[in-house]
Structures are given as C-alpha cells and as structure tokens.
Chains A and B, each alone.
Chain A
Amino acid sequence: MGQIELKGVTKRFGDVEVIPPLDLHIGEGEFVVFVGPSGCGKSTLLRLIAGLEDVSGGHIEIDGQDATDLPPAKRSLAMVFQSYALYPHMSVRKNIAFPLKMAKADQATIDAKIENAARILNLTDYLHRRPGQLSGGQRQRVAIGRAIVREPAAFLFDEPLSNLDAALRVNMRLEISELHQKLKTTMVYVTHDQVEAMTMADKIVVLHAGVIEQVGSPLELYRSPRNKFVAGFIGSPKMNFVEGPEAAKHNAHTIGIRPEHINVSATEGAWKGTVGVSEHLGSDTFLHVDTEFGLINVRGDGEIDLHSGDSVWLSPDLSQLHKFDAAGLAI
C-alpha cells in the first residue's frame, strides 16, 4: 500500500504550462520530499496527487489503480496543510473525528482511533479545546492527527512547518520523522527548505520551473549533483561557483566547491583573498571571503580566529571539486 506513479503528468493554467510532462515513481513506505524554490511547481504537483487540482494530461496511479479522475476523498490520501486548515468551530476531538465521521465509522471505532492518535501526538489533554486555544505546534499535531486516523495509503504534507518558529520547526521535523518510522506509511512532503529535505527524506525530488532536475537520496544529491541548479540548491551554505581561467585549468566551464571543502590558512594556499564578513557560531565559523573570482563562502569546523579585513589563503579540496559544462551539466 502507498505506491504512487505519475506518468506524463502535465498541468496548465490557461496557456501557461506550469508542469511539463513529468514521470515519477514513489515507492511504498518511502519518505519523498519535493524541494525547490518558490514557484517551481512543487505544491501544484502535490495538489495534483491529492486531487485538489485536475491534471491537464497524463495519469496518476495509486497502488496500481488509475486515480486520475478520482475525487480527493476517494484516493485514500491524507493531507496536512501549511495553514493547518483545522475546522475552527469544532473541538480537537471533533476535528480528528471528522474524516471518520465522513467514512461513517461507528462510534466505538471513532473513539478508539482518536484515543490512539491523541496518545501518539501528545494531544490527550487538549481534546476538548478548540483550535483557537492551541499553540502553532499543537495545531499542527491536530492536523497530523486528523490525517493519521484515516489510515491513508500515503500522507501528503504541504510545507507543514513553515508557519512555526525555528525551535519548534526542529522539534516537529523530528516528530514527523519518528512518525514515519512508527507508521511506515508513504509520505510525500513539500518544502522550500533544503535542510528539511536533507534531514527527513529517503528520496529528494528537486524541482525547478515544473521540471524534475534530479531524484535521489539526500547524500547522492549532495555528492553528485547532476547540474549546477541542484548543486547550488542542495547544501547550506550554498556551493561556490568559479568560472573562467581557473575553471579551464580543470577542463570545465564552471567549477563548484562546497564551503566545507575549502581549507583556510593565514600563510599559504591556492587562492588569496580578504575576509569580508565573519560569522562565529562556536561550532562552526562562516567566512565570506573576497577573492579575484568573486565572493567565496567558507565553512570551518570550530572557531577560526579570522576577522573582517584579514588576509587569507584558500585551498579547495580537489577531490571534492564539481565540474560543469557550459550548459550547467555535471561533467
């Protein structure tokens, strides 16, 4: 249960094609993250799977059944929205019970499933409250609870953490990952935050302008990005790109090196530069260095005693160098 297959799926809004023909396989029990900049079509793709938007072409299969023309309710998928989309006039209990009520489940089943979901999500003490009386994190848990009780073939998450503050986001990220390990249900998760994608996903789908740029495990994307876009999008801080003669030395149009793969020295190295801004986090030091190739970001472990205005030498780790041709494809 929980296999999703997209075959030549396209979406047009009027004359604008937001998703050109696209194929994708989501395996049973996988945690798949759609990631990309805003407007890349990741939410639209999720809504097409959910059935909240009609496809303009192609087919969607869920567990081998053609679901292209099925209404959302018949696809046995559950969705968690960015704005939580809780029913404000119902208590937490009624919110969670709603999908079961729609499925005409008997009261004993409803009660048992609510108790179970509330226990998993630590909501037992809040069942009588209205959504308006809950914090952001609790609301998000109610939205997840509403999805869990349906025992869907797959969960769809549409940027579920972007309304939460940074600390809560980290907690909820863990909770969702734990939930996936516990339930082992397919999860499709949309985010623009590549850290969320890297930490949660079994498989990341990088989207750009409606096109899948690359599909792979987080480390595959990190180690072997297929093109410049994926290389720049995955990893934080962003990969540094250098063009011109320096790239030509390595037989490439552009070379890319991640900030953590550059060694810093005050005395010797390959590239000379001056520290512009230095950020000292204790665990890491981020240096923004002005060089003859432009701004190069460097990430060093622990504390590096360099400050704005200091001269430095940078040495990229050549074994970690990424090479791209003029079209931006990895060589």
Chain B
Amino acid sequence: MARKTSNRRKLVMTILAWSVGFVIFFPILWTIILSFKTEGDAIKTPLQVLTSHWTFESYTLVQERSNYFRHFMNSVVISFGSVILALIIGIPSAWAMAFVPGKRTKDVLMWMLSTKMMPAVGVLVPIYLMFRDWGLLDTRTGLIIVLCLMNLPIVIWMLYTYFKEIPSEILEAARMDGAGLRSEILYVLTPMAIPGIASTLLLNVILSWNEAFWTLNLTAAKAAPLTAFIAAYSSPEGLFYAKLSAASTLAIAPILILGWFSQKQLVRGLTFGAVK
C-alpha cells in the first residue's frame, strides 16, 4: 500500500517537474519555432503559427544583413578572456582567503559580494568616461576588463568555497617538500581544485556570454558581441519577430550546447561546494 502511494507521488512530482521545466523552457522553444517562420506568419495566433509553413528565410536574411561570425568570435574572446583573467586574479586571492585568513577576511568577502548588489547603471557614467579617455570604447580589451571586474566577486567566492574543502595539511606537506608559493598553487592546489575551477569557469563564461548591459553600452561595431547582434534586430521602426528570433537562436545556440554538455559541472558549481 505504502509502495503504491509513493509511486503515485512520484508520478505527480515527475509531471510537476516536467511542467515547471517546460514553462521555463517555453520562451526559448517559441523563439526557436518563430525563427523558422516568415515575418507574416510569426505574428499570427499560436495555432496558426504552428501550422504555417516552415522556412530558413529569416536565417538567410540575418546572415546577409550582419556578420554573425564576427559577433560570435567577439563573444568567445570577451567571455573566455574575461573569465580566464578573473581566474588568474581569483585563484591566488581565494588561496589567501581560504588558507591564510586574517581577521577581516570574512568582511572582505562580504564587501566583494556587496558590489554585486549595486545596480551597474550607477557606475556607467564614470566607467564610460574612463573608457573614452583611455581609448577602450568598442574594444575587446575594454570589455574583457569590465566583465572580469563584474565577475571577479563571484569567481573568488566560488573558488574560496572550493578551496575551503581542500585539507590545509596537503598544502603544508607541499611546503615541507620544498614547494614555494608559486609551485604550491600551480602543482598542488590548482590540480586538486580542477572540478571547482572548471565549474567556476563554465558558470562565469555563461554569465559573461549573456551579459548585455556593459556589452551594449560600451561597444558600437568592432567589439560588439552576440548580445549586440540580437539587439540590432529590435529596431524602433517595428519588431521583426522572425528575424529577431533567428538572431536570438543563433546567439544562444553555442552557450546552450556548452551548457548542455557540462550540466554535471554546472550543477556542482551552482550548489557552491555543498555537494561533495
């Protein structure tokens, strides 16, 4: 009897979970469907949309009007570049906070997190002016720097949580074995923290890839990543649903595929070291 109830419960929970998943995924699914329709069909009622003719027309038009590959490369360089830079700064910082904490370490960590609570627009003007003066506007370097700074608190927090799980005796053993600070971090800490570093990298690449505020405000044409590519299709003279959907699908496809293949790492990353 107990078994029966538990099975029914399982069925209900499964249906509920799938429903929630479907609701969350629906906007992406609808975008993908619309991208295969003509502009005329895309604005019809949902039933008419589904039954209307399927076409690659929007993709062809989007390709003709803009250079997808250039935006894609900008996105790759900016997101990976900013995260790798953040890791280069974050690994030694997290090492220091995890293994040689001072009285104020917790405060520093909280302060870093608090910067994420500040609305980005609050510092837009000063950063824009600095970028203008230093010639960083519309450059990949500029975006790498700004996105690195935006993600650094999350990178350091995630790494800090992972490093805390590593027994400090192992690092002490390395010190006794003659390893200097550099060797200790490079040969012992980093290889042991590879799973943590990988999920930190993945999560932050996704965050950088989808970042739209700074990428839209600090780029024009040369360094514009895929977020700017999508934005170019929401024009003031009217929305072109099909083309916008095609552009969006092209923009999210790479990161969606990356995310799909690295689900396990991501879940571990998102649980912040709670699961051993």
Contacts and interface: CB of A to CB of B under 8 A. Distances in A.
Interface of A: 50, 52, 71-73, 77-79, 81-83, 85-89, 98-99, 102-103, 143, 146, 150
Interface string B152-177: 00000000000000010110111111
B172 A85 contact: yes
17 contacts: A50-B176, A52-B176, A71-B175, A72-B172, A72-B176, A73-B180, A77-B176, A78-B177, A79-B176, A81-B169, A87-B173, A87-B188, A87-B192, A99-B177, A102-B183, A146-B173, A150-B177
A85 B178 contact: no
Interface of B: 167, 169-170, 172-180, 183, 187-188, 191-192, 194
A143 B170 CA distance: 11
A232 to B, nearest CB: 31
A83 B183 contact: no
Nearest to A156: B176
B175 A52 contact: yes
A255 B276 CA distance: 54
Given A87-B192, A89-B192, A146 B177 contact: yes
Name the 5 nearest CB pairs between A and B, nearest first: A102-B178, A85-B173, A99-B177, A73-B178, A85-B169
A50 B177 CA distance: 11
Contacts of A81: 169, 172-173
Nearest to A152: B176
Given A83-B167, A83-B169, A102-B183, A89 B176 contact: no
Given A73-B179, A73-B180, A98 B191 contact: no
A102 to B, nearest CB: 4
A83 B166 CA distance: 12
A73 B167 contact: no
B16 to A, nearest CB: 39
B6 to A, nearest CB: 36
Nearest to B179: A102
A11 B192 CA distance: 32
A77 B187 CA distance: 21
A287 B95 CA distance: 55
Contacts of B169: 81-83, 85
B192 A98 contact: no
A302 to B, nearest CB: 45
A318 to B, nearest CB: 49
A98 B174 contact: yes
B188 to A, nearest CB: 6
B26 to A, nearest CB: 43
A135 to B, nearest CB: 19
B179 A78 contact: no
B175 A73 contact: yes
A85 B175 contact: no
A143 B176 CA distance: 12
A10 B261 CA distance: 56
Contacts of B187: 98
A52 B172 contact: yes
Nearest to B193: A89
B210 to A, nearest CB: 32
Given A81-B173, A85-B172, 20 more contacts: A52-B175, A72-B175, A72-B176, A73-B176, A73-B178, A73-B180, A78-B177, A82-B169, A85-B170, A85-B173, A86-B170, A87-B174, A87-B192, A88-B170, A88-B192, A99-B177, A102-B179, A143-B173, A150-B177, A150-B178
Contacts of B188: 87
B236 to A, nearest CB: 55
A79 B179 contact: no
A98 B172 contact: no
